[in-house]
Structure 1
Amino acid sequence: MSRSRRLGLVGAAALLLVAGLLVPSQAQGTGVERYRVEGLDSPVRINVDEWGVPHIFARSSEDAFFAQGWNVARDRLFQIDLWRRRGLGQLSEVFGPDYVEQDRAARLFLYQGDMEDEWAAYGEGAEEMATRFAAGINAYIDWLEDNPEALPPEFRLLDYFPDRWAPEDAVRNRTHGLTRGVSNEVSLARGLACRGRLDLDPLRERYEPDHTTRVPEGLDPCSIPADVLDVYDLATSSVRFTGDAARPLTVEDRPDFEPGSNNWVVSADKTATGRPILANDPHRAHENPSLRYITHLSSPELDVIGAGEPGLPGISIGHNGTAAFGLTIFAVDEADLYVYELDETNERYLYQGEWEPFEVRPTEIDVRGGGTETHDLVFTRHGPVTLVDEENHRAYAVRTVWTEPGTAPYFGSSGYMNARSWDDFTDAMSRWATPGENQVYADVHGDIGWQPGGKAPVRVGFDGLLPVPGDGRYEWAGFRGIEEFPSLFNPPEGFAATANQFNAQDDSRFGYIWSDPIRKNRIDEVLAADDDHTVQESAALQSDILNIRTREIMGMAGALDPADPVTAQALEFMRGYDFREEVGSPHALLYRGYWETRINQAVKAELVAPDDLDEFGNLDWLVVEDALRDPEAWFDGGAATRDELLLTSLRDAFTAAQAGHGDDPSQWAYRGVTVGWNHRLGDLMPDWDIPSVQMPGSGGNPLASAAASFKMVLDVGRWDNSIALNVPGQSGVPGSRHYDDLVERWSTWDYFPLLYSRGAIERHTEQRIMLVPRHDRG
C-alpha cells in the first residue's frame, strides 16, 4: 500500500488556501540556502543561474545524481509525480475511482520483466544512477514533510501528498515514449484494406523505400474493431484537469501535429571558428512545464550539461566537455497488432495449431475513497491484450519493444553521456532502445558523425503495415544490431543533418513511414551553401520560416500566362512572395490558408477515380510533388493538365481568400501558429496559464512553430559560447521567477548562454543552494 495521503483540504477552502501559497520569486543575491538531507555522502553546491539552469557541483557522480533528483523535485515535483503516477497506474490512488481503467491500461504496458536484466541492458552504473536519483527526490519529499508550507500548490489544490520513488519507477514506465507503428496498422486495415482498395494506398502514404503491402494471409481486415486500441491509447495518453469537481482529471486529447525534430552537426572545416557546431531542436507538444529540463552535473567523474526528461537521471541532449550529442526521431516501426482466434470459452487462443491459455496477472489498484480493487491483466505470448471480442471469439494484443529489457524511453543516454570519442559513443548507441533516434555527434578532436539506434524488430514474413494473425506465422526473430544501422563519420560534405526523414539508404529493415523531408531539404540547402557557419547562423536556421515547397510550386506556376484576369491577378500577387511564412504575410495567408490544400485536392481528383475520392483525405505530399515534377508520367494530359490544375486551384484559393478577408490582398495577414502553455490545473487556477503567442512558420519549415520547446546550439570546444532556449521556463512551480521567464526569449529567438565554465557560472549565479549530509555539522 502506498503511503500517499490526503492533506485535508477540500473544495473552495483548498482554492483559497492555495491562492495564498504561491511560491515566491526565488531569492537573488549571494546568500546561500542550506539544506540538511539524509542520504548524501558529501556536501553538494547548486548554483542556479539567472535563466534558471541549475549547475550541480558534487564530489562524486553518485552525489551528483542524488542532487539532480533533489533539485528536479524542487523545480518540477508536481510534473514528475503526475508522470510517475500516470506511468505506473497509480492515478486512482489520489484521484478516485474514475481512473481505475486508465491505471489498469498503464499497468498492462509496464515493463514486467526481470530487473537484473533491465539494469544490465543499459550498461554499467545505470542502476546506481537511478537509485541515487530516486533517493534525491525522496530526500526533498522528506524535507517537505518538515516544511509543508513549501509544498507546491498543485498538491494542496488536489489534496494529496507526493509519494516516494523506487529506483525502478523511472525505467518500468514505458508509455511516455514515441513508439510507433500500431495505429497506422489499424487505420489502414479498417480503411482501404477492408474496402479492398489497397491499390490506393501508395497515394495515401508514400512508403520509403518504395513498397506495396498486402493483406497478411489469414487476416480479415474488416474484423478489426474500431475500439481495438482504446486501451493502448489510454495507456499512452497524458492527463489534464478540468473544473468538474466530480471528475477533475480527464484523458488529454492527442496533439494534432506529428512530433518531429531537427538536428545537425557541422565540421570544423565549414565553420568560421574552425570548431564543430552541433544544433538540436527536438519537436514535441508544448506543455507547462516544459517536457524537458536543463541541468548541469559536475563531479570528478563527469561534467555534463544539457536537457533531459525531468523524471529521468542524467541528460540526453547536450555535451560533456569533450563530446556533444543531439537527437531526433529515427522512425523505427516498434509495434504490431496481433489477432487471435479463441476457443468457445474465450479463455484460450490458437497458436501453432494448439490452444494456449492466456496469462492472467492480477493487480491491486488502490482507489481513493474506495479501498482496493483487484483487476486482471491479460497477456498472450506477444503482449498485452487490449480487447476480447467474446461474441466473435477473437482477441487482440499489442506487441511492442517495451516488453524487452533496456527499453525505457531515453534512459539509454546513461550509456553515452560520458562518451569521450566516436567509438565510445557508437558503442553506447548499440544499447540504445527507445524511441528510435538519429543521434548527431561532435567532439573537441574535430570528429563529427551521425549514428541512429533503436530496437528494430526483425519481422519474418510480414512488413508491419497491417495487423497479423497471432497463430505463429508472423513472428519477430530478434532485433537489428547496430552494425545494420546506417551511419556517417566525418562525411565529405562537412555536415550531417536529420529531420525524421527517410535516411535508411533504401533499406526497409526499420520501417516504411517517415516524416516529410521538407525540413531536412531546407536545412541541407542552407548548410551546403555556408562555408563559414556560426553559432548564430545555426540559431537562425532553427528559426528558418522559408517554405521550399511553395518556392517550387511557384517555380512551376510563375512562368504561366493565364488569360483569365482573376487568375492573372492572383499569380502576379504570388510572384511577389519571398516564401517566408511571416505573421502578417498576405502571401503566406493565401498559400497556407487556401492554395496548398486545393493543390493537393486537385491532384487527387486527377489521379483518383470519382467513386474513390472519399476513400481517404489528402494525398501524401510526396506523391503530389512527384506528380507536379513529372506530369507526363502521372497525368493523362501531361504538363497541360498540371498547369491547368495549378492555375484553377490558385484562382479558387484567391477568390475564397477575398471572400474571407476582403478584396484587397495587400490587407490580408497570415496569423501563423498559436502556441500556448496552459497549466494542467488552469481550468481551476486560470492565473497559472501562460498567455499564448502567435508564431510564424508552419510544419513546412525548420522552425516548425508549434513544436520545439527546447533548442540548443553548441560551440564545440568553446562551450561558454553555446546557447539554448527552454519554454516556458525551467521551473514548474507557479509563482516562481523561472515559471514563465523564457517565453519572450523563445518567441523572439533570443537564446541565453548555456554556461559551462566555473567562472562564467559564478558571474551569472542568481541562487546558491548547499546540500549538506544530515550527519555533517560543517
Structure 2
Amino acid sequence: MTALDRAWQLEVERHRAQGTSAAFLGTDALAWDGFARRARLDDTARRCFSSLERRDPETADWVRAYVDGVNDGLDRATAPEFARVGLAPGRWEPWTPLGVWLATHILFAGFPAKLWREQVVQHLGADAVALFATDGPGTSGSNGWLVSGERTTTGHAVIAGDPHRFIEDPGVYQQIHLSCPEFDVVGLAVPGVPGIAHFGHTGTVAWAITNAMADYQDLYRERLRRTGAGVEALGPDGVWRRAARHTETVEVAGEEPVEVEVIETDRGPVIIGGPEGLDDRVPDSGTPVADRACVTSPVGRATPGTHARRVAEPPTWLLPHARTTSRGGTPIEGAPAPCDRTHQTPRADPTGDVTQALSLRYPPRVTEDLGFSALLPLLRARRVADVDRALDLWAEPVNVVQAADTEGGLLHRVAGRVPLRAEANRIRLVPAWEPGHGWEGRHETPYAGLTDGIAVMANQRGPATSLGVEFAPPHRADRITALLTERDRWSAADMPVIHMDTRLASAVPLLDQLEALDGLTPEAAAIRDALLRWDRHMDANSTDAAVYAAVRGAVVRRLAAHPAFAALTTPPAYPEVFLPWLNLVPRVGFALEHLLRADELYGIDRAETVRAAVEEVAASGDLPATWGDTHRLSPWRALVPRQATFAPSRRPARSPTALKAWEVPPLAAPGTDPSTSSTRACARHAESTHRTPLLDGQTLPAAALADPPSEGPGLSGDHDCVLCTSAVPGWTDLSARGPAARYVWDLARREDSLWVVPFGASGVPGSPHHRDQLPLWLRGDLVPVVTDWQQLKKENEDA
C-alpha cells in the first residue's frame, strides 16, 4: 500500500541511501551523495543484511517479503514526480530497507557536534564548550510521557507524545494498521522500513520512543599517505597499514559525472579530507560562516531563509571526469548571499603534522547489526516484558522507550548500542595513531522508573545521562511534568492540552536582562515594559511573542558578530553536509540562555548588547503584528512545487544538499508471494494506511487538496516550548522542524487512542488524503485510531 501512496518518497529514500540522489535532483544533492559514498552507507546495509540472514533468517525472509511488496507496488505506481524529473522507479534490493534506516539515522547522534567542540576548544578553550552545550542545529528531539493507571480516569495507562523532526511533504511518519492471524498492530511507520519501530499499539501493549541523545559514534584524526600500492594509515601501534581504497562515480543531472575517492582505515570510512589534506585550496581568509546562507539542516535540507551551493572548486575526494564546472546557486531576490566556501588552514596536531583526514566509526559498520531483529518481536508483543525483550535486540539509533500494557505493566528504559571507550572519544576528535581510543565492549542500557505515577522523556538528562554528552534543555520536560501534576486524573482525550502548550521558559534570562535596563528611549522602554507583562506564551496570535522574537534575534546577531567569537565564524574546509553544526548564529541562538547567564562572557557587555538590540527593534518600526505572521510552517520537499513552495517568496527554494539524514517517512506494501512461512503470510495478509476524515463533518476547500499556498500557515510554539515548532533565532522565524506526528495510546481501549500527522496519509498530490489532516494538526486536534476493518473504505483496487 505504501509503495502506491508514497512511491516518490520511497524512491527518494532509496537513492539517498545509495548516494545516487544527484542523478535526478542535480548538483544540490551532490554533497549528500559524496558523504553517503564515503561513509559506505549502502555497503554497510548490505553487510548488515548478510549478517541478518545468518543470525535471524526468519526476519531476513520477512524483510525480503516486504521488499517484494515494494517492488510490486512501484511497478504500478503513478506518482507525478517521476514524470517531472524523467525518473522511473528502480528495483529495491533485500538490504534497501536497512540502507534507508541507516541513512535516516546516521546523523541522529550528532557526531558533527564534535567538529564544533574542536573549534570551540581551539579558539576559546575547554570551558567554552559548556556555554554552547544545548539542543542545537544538529540534534533532534521529541516529547513523550507515560501516565500510569493510578493517574488516569480508566485505571489503565496512557502514553502520549510527539516526535520532533523536519516537517516534510510527504510526512516522515505514516499511520498504518498491520493485521494478520499472528498480530494486529496500529502505529506510526517509517516508509521504506517494515514493521513499526517507534510508536505502536498491539491492543494489549503500546510503546513510544524519544531520542536518548546518546553518543555512540567517534571521529578519528587520521594520518594518511599515498604509496605506490594505494593509501596507508598510521595505527595506534605506530605501524602504517594499508587502507581500503577505491573510486565511485556519482552521476549528476545536467553536469559531468563526478568521481568520489572512498578510503577506509581500521577505524572506519574517511568522511573528511584525505592524504592531500582537507581541501586542495585553503586560502588564508574568507567570508565568515556567519555571513553566509549555508545553514543546511543536519538532514541535508537547507534551513528556512537559506540556500546552499556546492564548493567553487572540488575537494580532493571529488575528482571531475572531464572538467570543473561552476556549481553556484542563484538566490531568490531578498535572500542572503550565497555561501563562500573559504576556510581556515587545517590545524596542526601535537607532533607538528597537519591533520589531513577524519574517519567515522559507527556501530553498524563494526557489528553488522542495525537491530532489525527487534522488529518482528515488537509486532508480536502482548505484554511489557515482550517489548523489553525485543528492545534488548535494538541497535540504532539509541532511544528512550516507554511502554505499558493492559495488565498494569510499565517500562521506561534506554534501548540501543553504545560502545565503551575513552571519555575523550565522546567529546572531541581523537588521534587514530595514539593508543587508548579503541572500543571495548558496550554499555549496559539503563532503566528508570516513574515518579508519582508519571514519567516524562523530552531529550533531557535522565536515564541516558551516562551515555551522552549534550542533551536538550530541561524546559520541555519540566513543563510537561508541571502540567501533568495539575490534575489527579487524566484521560486520552485530555492530552492535546499538553501537546499544544506554548510557554517559553528559556525566555527568562533575556527578560531579566531587559528588566535591569534603564535610560531607554520611550519606544524601547515601551517594548521592555510590554515584554515584562507578557505571559511568556509563544502563541501565533500574540503580539508580545512577536516582539520578543524580534528582540531575541537582534541580541543573537549582535553576540555572534562580537569580535570575541570572530574565530568561530570561519570553519575548516569540511564538506557542506557538516556546516550546520559549525554555523555560529544558530549556535548562539540555541545557547542564548547559557550565554546570558554565564558569570563572564569573554569581556562582552551583555547589558549593552541587549540595550542596543531593543533600541534597534524599537527604531525599525517594522514589527510583525503577531508571532504567526513570521513564524510559519516551511516544510521540506525533494521537488519544489511548480506553483508554490509553502514559503514566502523571499526564501530561496529548499535545497536537498544532503537530503535528509536522521529521519524517514512511513511504511510500504508487504510482500505478496505465497509462502509457508508464518511471517511471510503475516507480512502479506493485510495492511491499511489510515485515511482520516475531518472532525465534525468539516470539509476541506478544493484548493487545500492541490498545490500548497505561497506562504505556510502561522504557527504557535517555539524551540523550547512543548509545542516545539523550531525557528532559528537570529536567522529566521520560519519553522522547518516540529511535531512530525502526535499520538495518544490508550491502554484501556485501543479504539480510544488518537493521532494526527501534519499533512495526510497519502503522498500523492491531488489525493483527498494528501493534506486532509493539516487543519487538525494546526489546531491541535487528534482523530480516533480506527481499528475496525468494517469502518474502512477501500479506495484503491490495486491495493
The answer to whether TM tops 0.5 is yes
Partner of 2:96: 169
Counterparts of 2:613 and 2:421, CA distance in 1: 46
Task: State the Cα distance separating 1:283 from its structure 2 match.
Answer: 0.7
Query: Does the 8 Å CA contact 2:461/2:471 hold for their aligned counterparts?
Result: yes
Counterparts of 1:121 and 1:582, CA distance in 2: 54
Query: Which has the higher Rg, Structure 1 or Structure 2?
Result: 1
Partner of 1:576: 533
Counterparts of 1:373 and 1:622, CA distance in 2: 37
- Output one character per residue of 1:238-268: Cα deviation in whole Å (capped at 9) or x when no partner: xxxxxxxxxxxxxxxxx96742111111011
CA 1:124/1:186 → structure 2, altered by over 3 Å: closer, same or farther?
A: same
Partner of 1:140: 73
State the SS of the aligned residue for 2:89. coil
Counterparts of 1:151 and 1:545, CA distance in 2: 41
Which letter maps to 1:195?
A: H
Counterparts of 2:275 and 2:446, CA distance in 1: 42
Answer with 434-443 or 178-187: which moved more.
178-187
Query: Does the 8 Å CA contact 1:281/1:710 hold for their aligned counterparts?
Result: yes
Query: Does the 8 Å CA contact 1:172/1:408 hold for their aligned counterparts?
Result: no
Partner of 1:383: 268
Counterparts of 1:655 and 1:196, CA distance in 2: 29
Note the 1:599-638 alignment, pairs <5 A: 612-615=564-567, 634=599
Task: State the Cα distance separating 1:708 from its structure 2 match.
Answer: 0.9
Query: Does the 8 Å CA contact 2:762/2:769 hold for their aligned counterparts?
Result: yes
Note the 1:218-233 alignment, pairs <5 A: none
What is the TM-score when the length of structure 2 is the normalising length?
0.69
Residue in structure 2 matching 1:728, options 759, 764, 772: 759
What is the TM-score when the length of structure 1 is the normalising length?
0.71
Partner of 2:502: 545
- Higher relative strand content: 1
CA 1:675/1:121 → structure 2, altered by over 3 Å: closer, same or farther?
A: farther
Partner of 1:205: 133
Partner of 1:301: 182
Note the 1:56-205 alignment, pairs <5 A: 71-91=1-21, 103=33, 105-107=35-37, 108-112=40-44, 114-115=47-48, 118-119=51-52, 125-142=58-75, 144=76, 151-173=78-100, 174-177=102-105, 178-189=107-118, 191-195=119-123, 197-205=125-133
Residue in structure 2 matching 1:333, options 212, 215, 224: 215
Query: Does the 8 Å CA contact 2:48/2:370 hold for their aligned counterparts?
Result: no
State the SS of the aligned residue for 1:290. coil
Counterparts of 1:294 and 1:431, CA distance in 2: 24
CA 1:750/1:623 → structure 2, altered by over 3 Å: closer, same or farther?
A: closer
Counterparts of 2:165 and 2:624, CA distance in 1: 34
Query: Does the 8 Å CA contact 1:329/1:438 hold for their aligned counterparts?
Result: yes
Task: State the Cα distance separating 1:348 from its structure 2 match.
Answer: 1.2
Counterparts of 2:111 and 2:205, CA distance in 1: 36
Counterparts of 2:142 and 2:223, CA distance in 1: 41
Answer with 73-82 or 114-123: which moved more.
114-123
Counterparts of 1:555 and 1:196, CA distance in 2: 26
Counterparts of 2:534 and 2:256, CA distance in 1: 65
Answer with 313-322 or 158-167: which moved more.
158-167
Counterparts of 1:364 and 1:554, CA distance in 2: 54
State the SS of the aligned residue for 1:136. helix
Residue in structure 2 matching 1:417, options 357, 363, 379: 379
Counterparts of 1:406 and 1:716, CA distance in 2: 36
Task: State the Cα distance separating 1:673 from its structure 2 match.
Answer: 2.1
Query: Does the 8 Å CA contact 1:181/1:336 hold for their aligned counterparts?
Result: no
Partner of 2:663: none
Which letter maps to 2:549?
A: R
Query: Does the 8 Å CA contact 1:329/1:500 hold for their aligned counterparts?
Result: yes
Query: Does the 8 Å CA contact 1:720/1:755 hold for their aligned counterparts?
Result: yes
CA 1:626/1:198 → structure 2, altered by over 3 Å: closer, same or farther?
A: closer
Task: State the Cα distance separating 1:415 from its structure 2 match.
Answer: 3.8
Task: State the Cα distance separating 1:545 from its structure 2 match.
Answer: 0.7
State the SS of the aligned residue for 1:574. helix
Query: Does the 8 Å CA contact 2:30/2:252 hold for their aligned counterparts?
Result: yes
Partner of 1:321: 203
Counterparts of 2:193 and 2:393, CA distance in 1: 17
Which letter maps to 1:109?
A: L
Answer with 690-699 or 281-290: which moved more.
690-699
Task: State the Cα distance separating 1:690 from its structure 2 match.
Answer: 5.4
Counterparts of 1:288 and 1:131, CA distance in 2: 27
State the SS of the aligned residue for 2:382. coil
Task: State the Cα distance separating 1:103 from its structure 2 match.
Answer: 4.5
Answer with 275-284 or 689-698: which moved more.
689-698
Counterparts of 1:727 and 1:300, CA distance in 2: 32
Counterparts of 2:638 and 2:721, CA distance in 1: 29
Query: Does the 8 Å CA contact 2:546/2:625 hold for their aligned counterparts?
Result: no
Task: State the Cα distance separating 1:446 from its structure 2 match.
Answer: 1.9
Query: Does the 8 Å CA contact 1:502/1:517 hold for their aligned counterparts?
Result: yes
Counterparts of 2:463 and 2:588, CA distance in 1: 20
Partner of 1:288: 169
CA 1:390/1:448 → structure 2, altered by over 3 Å: closer, same or farther?
A: same
Partner of 2:772: 741
Task: State the Cα distance separating 1:370 from its structure 2 match.
Answer: 11
CA 1:479/1:674 → structure 2, altered by over 3 Å: closer, same or farther?
A: farther
Partner of 2:702: none
Task: State the Cα distance separating 1:339 from its structure 2 match.
Answer: 1.9
Query: Does the 8 Å CA contact 2:546/2:627 hold for their aligned counterparts?
Result: yes
Partner of 1:502: 461
1:349 matched to 2:377? no
Counterparts of 1:671 and 1:350, CA distance in 2: 56
Counterparts of 1:124 and 1:529, CA distance in 2: 50
Counterparts of 1:674 and 1:411, CA distance in 2: 40
Partner of 1:66: none
Partner of 2:302: none
Partner of 2:681: none
Identity over aligned pairs, percent: 23
Partner of 1:675: 633
Q: Output the aligned Cα RMSD.
A: 3.9
Query: Does the 8 Å CA contact 2:222/2:233 hold for their aligned counterparts?
Result: yes
Structure 1's unaligned 5+ residue stretches are 1-70, 145-149, 208-254, 772-778
Task: State the Cα distance separating 1:557 from its structure 2 match.
Answer: 7.3
Query: Does the 8 Å CA contact 1:337/1:399 hold for their aligned counterparts?
Result: yes
Query: Does the 8 Å CA contact 2:527/2:547 hold for their aligned counterparts?
Result: no
1:718 matched to 2:749? yes
1:698 matched to 2:680? no
Query: Does the 8 Å CA contact 2:556/2:588 hold for their aligned counterparts?
Result: no
Query: Does the 8 Å CA contact 1:729/1:741 hold for their aligned counterparts?
Result: yes
Counterparts of 1:721 and 1:158, CA distance in 2: 43
Task: State the Cα distance separating 1:203 from its structure 2 match.
Answer: 2.4
CA 1:628/1:680 → structure 2, altered by over 3 Å: closer, same or farther?
A: closer
Partner of 2:429: 467
1:767 matched to 2:694? no
Partner of 1:57: none
Task: State the Cα distance separating 1:475 from its structure 2 match.
Answer: 3.0
State the SS of the aligned residue for 1:693. coil
Query: Does the 8 Å CA contact 1:118/1:406 hold for their aligned counterparts?
Result: yes
Partner of 2:620: 660
Query: Does the 8 Å CA contact 2:212/2:464 hold for their aligned counterparts?
Result: no
Counterparts of 1:499 and 1:752, CA distance in 2: 23
Task: State the Cα distance separating 1:342 from its structure 2 match.
Answer: 3.1
Answer with 171-180 or 493-502: which moved more.
171-180
Partner of 2:395: 433
Which letter maps to 2:724?
A: A
Query: Does the 8 Å CA contact 1:318/1:324 hold for their aligned counterparts?
Result: yes
1:448 matched to 2:479? no
Which letter maps to 1:765?
A: K
Query: Does the 8 Å CA contact 1:171/1:411 hold for their aligned counterparts?
Result: no
1:266 matched to 2:147? yes
Counterparts of 1:444 and 1:268, CA distance in 2: 9
Counterparts of 1:367 and 1:600, CA distance in 2: 37
State the SS of the aligned residue for 1:188. helix
State the SS of the aligned residue for 1:325. strand
Answer with 692-701 or 449-458: which moved more.
449-458
Structure 2's unaligned 5+ residue stretches are 278-353, 569-583, 645-705, 726-736
Task: State the Cα distance separating 1:82 from its structure 2 match.
Answer: 1.6
Report how many residues are paired. Answer: 622
